[in-house]
Amino acid sequence: MKKAFITGIGGQDGSYLAEYLLELGYEVHGIVRRNSTPEHQQSRLDPIRNNKNLHVSYGDLNDTSGIERILREVNPDEVYNLAAQSHVRISYEIPQFTVQTNSVGVVNILEAVRNNCPKAKFYQASSSEMFGSSVDEDGFQRESTTMTPVSPYGCAKVFGYNIVRNYRNAHKIHASNGILFNHESPRRGSNFVTNKVVKAAVRIKLGLQDELELGNLDAYRDWGHSKDYVKAMHLIQQQPEPGDWVVATGETRSVRDMCEYVFNQLGLDYKQYVVQNKKFLRPEELKYLKGDSSKIRELGWKCEYTFSSMMDEMIEHWMDIFKNPLNK
């Protein structure tokens, strides 16, 4: 039985990845931070909590001795580093913590892998935010696109990306980067724009809220579903040689487009309810993302969710939450 170790297992991607690996017959180990708290939808790990092959403990990327101990005891075949300070706008408010976790934290776990399980395959959750304002002439970002990040989060992720490549070359570790574009689900934190929009739209439909305040409505993003993207993570780890892969749908939509779709699905006109508030604007805006995932698609990966089916799933989730008082 293969063994996997996942940092950030309690997050959106970590919980979906754990479910997927358990389905494939893995023994799954993971860490969550002690102050990690679920939203009202209960813990993201609840669907698999009683699985005998799931082992979750408390840990932190900045606790190097703890990470070393766990890796030494587990001796995993695959390591997935998904833990991060993952909110871009908040990275402006806590830049030091963001860098400590998203940059130094990557070094900490790479060192732990090198010293305790050097044969393990390592996956780093890199981000499309690394590209910043860079776009190729055809309107896409891909593995070869120049990285010019425009946020503390993006800057920290570039360091993590490059240190993975360094350990791959210098220490011959099977270390890969998945450059994931935006990916969402009902498990996404509701301070992220997709779930923020859906949650508010449902509340407005049910008479529980009057308006929705947002920042830049004209930011364009390439949105996919987390369930599809964790399958890409696993596929990357199965490759005989490590590398870097963009994971994206290849389609881009604005926040305004998303609002229009979600409110329309609920029989509402977003223009009557959505209000722009400058406090939600970033000091430096990333205006456009659209990924070319041709490289990983050549390995057989594909999106099973469409934008519409993903958003409809999220609408259904929040409608169920707010219609059932026991879920509030």
Angle between helical axes of 226-237 and 12-23 (0-180°, round to 10): 60
Helix (H, G, I), strand (E, B) or coil at 291: strand
What single DSSP character describes residue 8? T
CA distance 104 to 98: 9
Q: List the Cα angle 179/114/236 in 5-degree steps.
A: 30
For residue 99, which of 168, 179, 186, 158 has the smallest C-alpha distance?
158
| Ramachandran class of 171: left when φ > 0, alpha when ψ lies in -120 to 50, beta otherwise | alpha
261 is catalytic: no
Annotated active-site residue in 129, 176, 184, 270: 129
Question: Quick one: which H or E segment has residue 275?
Answer: strand 274-276
Residue 36: burial class (beta carbons within 10 Å; 0-12, 13-18, 19+): middle
CA distance 153 to 220: 18
Do 281 and 216 contact (CB within 8 A), yes or no?
yes
213 is catalytic: no
DSSP character string of 17-57: HHHHHHHTT-EEEEEE-TT----TT--TTGGGTT-TTEEEE
185 is catalytic: no
Do 202 and 315 contact (CB within 8 A), yes or no?
yes
Annotated active-site residue in 16, 123, 153, 161: 153
Annotated active-site residue in 15, 91, 127, 226: 127
Active site residue ranges: 127, 129, 153
